[in-house]
Homo-oligomer: A and B are copies of this chain.
């Protein structure tokens, strides 16, 4: 039976994770869930972010379900570098998977894009680039201060995530992969990405390919999001593009993500993109859909494609039935989704 580590975290994290667990229990009875107390609250209480002992315990699970960590009272970087990015890097989660669909019933911000027309997935590299933590500063707080950030890219790291993107495209209807980078300015990393992309593309003659600069892609995600199927890109570009993709498909309240180690050597991690949203925490009004869609990604990764499909169908029914502007209650949505997800 699957062993899932649950990190509910801060803000609305515990509220949405409770619903995600209802759904998980409904579709995968007997799943073993262990809760881990990590995030801003623990850091405030104990000064600890991610003790080594916890990291070791997490490694023994099949997957991690994460709600949200973070709070304005914690200095920038502490939880991001110490917890989220630490897990992504320690567990070699090199595929940061972020699907975006404009679901029927959801009013997106784009006047000329209809529900059902957008169905894309961004395969964001998760273990390299500007997220490597390579950088420093000199002469801090003087007029001579200089600060650097270095983007590290390896053929190993770039090629494997591109391979994953093509494998996903092979399983989709449109079979198209768009590489996004900035080869005209970041010529060294850009050339590595472009050459690795061309090499993998040659092995997939049935997949259509295109290349776009990141600035053009940011624009086309707004003007023509329909054109994308699978998008593969580096860590930082992926961070930005997936928030745009979320925005044009109804907001991060609906956006799920998976930080995946495809080989299963380490646990993969699944989390809603929305973050802890301290402003609405504790009111029972957070939308649990993103957390529940993250459960669907988790199920798919663990080989339960049928269960994943049922969860997606339950979400589709839920969203199609919503009245625009109506207040939702987190727990009621969770109950409905759990009930509809049962076979």
Residues of A within 8 A of B (CB): 76-77, 80-81, 85, 109-112, 130-131, 135-137, 139, 141-156, 182-192, 194-195, 214-216, 218-220, 222-223, 236, 239-244, 246-248, 251-252
A223 to B110, CA, bound (A): 9
Partner of A145, one of B77, B155, B194, B222: B155
Identical subunits present: 2
Which residues of the other chain, B, contact A247 by a CB distance below 8 angstroms?
218-220, 222-223
Smallest CB–CB gap between A69 and chain B, Å? 11
Docked-complex contact B183 and A77, CB < 8 angstroms = yes
Which residues of the other chain, B, contact A150 by a CB distance below 8 angstroms?
148-151
Docked-complex contact B111 and A145, CB < 8 angstroms = no
Which residues of the other chain, B, contact A240 by a CB distance below 8 angstroms?
214-215, 218, 240
Knowing A109-B223, A148-B151 are in contact, say whether A137-B188 is a contact too (CB < 8 A): yes
Smallest CB–CB gap between A173 and chain B, Å? 25
Docked-complex contact B149 and A151, CB < 8 angstroms = yes
Docked-complex contact B243 and A136, CB < 8 angstroms = no
List 19 extra interface pairs beyond A80-B184, A146-B154, CB under 8 A: A76-B183, A76-B184, A76-B190, A81-B184, A109-B222, A135-B189, A142-B155, A147-B191, A149-B188, A150-B151, A182-B239, A216-B243, A218-B218, A218-B240, A218-B241, A218-B244, A218-B247, A219-B247, A240-B240
Which residues of the other chain, B, contact A148 by a CB distance below 8 angstroms?
150-153, 188-189
Which residues of the other chain, B, contact A191 by a CB distance below 8 angstroms?
137, 147
Smallest CB–CB gap between A82 and chain B, Å? 11
Docked-complex contact B147 and A192, CB < 8 angstroms = yes
Which residues of the other chain, B, contact A251 by a CB distance below 8 angstroms?
219, 223
A183 to B135, CA, bound (A): 13
Which residues of the other chain, B, contact A246 by a CB distance below 8 angstroms?
219
Partner of A109, one of B110, B146, B147, B195: B110
Docked-complex contact B137 and A192, CB < 8 angstroms = yes
Partner of A188, one of B131, B147, B223: B147
> Which of chain B's residues has its CB closest to A242's CB?
B215
Smallest CB–CB gap between A186 and chain B, Å? 5
Which residues of the other chain, B, contact A252 by a CB distance below 8 angstroms?
219
Docked-complex contact A149 and B186, CB < 8 angstroms = yes
Which residues of the other chain, B, contact A85 by a CB distance below 8 angstroms?
185
Docked-complex contact B156 and A143, CB < 8 angstroms = yes
Smallest CB–CB gap between A302 and chain B, Å? 28
Partner of A147, one of B149, B153, B214: B153
Q: Which 5 A-B pairs have the closest CB atoms?
A: A111-B111, A145-B155, A222-B247, A147-B192, A215-B243
A150 to B152, CA, bound (A): 9
Which residues of the other chain, B, contact A219 by a CB distance below 8 angstroms?
243-244, 246-247, 251-252
Smallest CB–CB gap between A9 and chain B, Å? 15
Which residues of the other chain, B, contact A187 by a CB distance below 8 angstroms?
76-77, 81, 135
Which residues of the other chain, B, contact A189 by a CB distance below 8 angstroms?
135, 147-149
> Which of chain B's residues has its CB closest to A222's CB?
B247
| 8 A-B residue pairings within 8 Å (CB atoms) | A76-B184, A141-B195, A148-B151, A185-B236, A218-B241, A218-B244, A222-B247, A223-B251
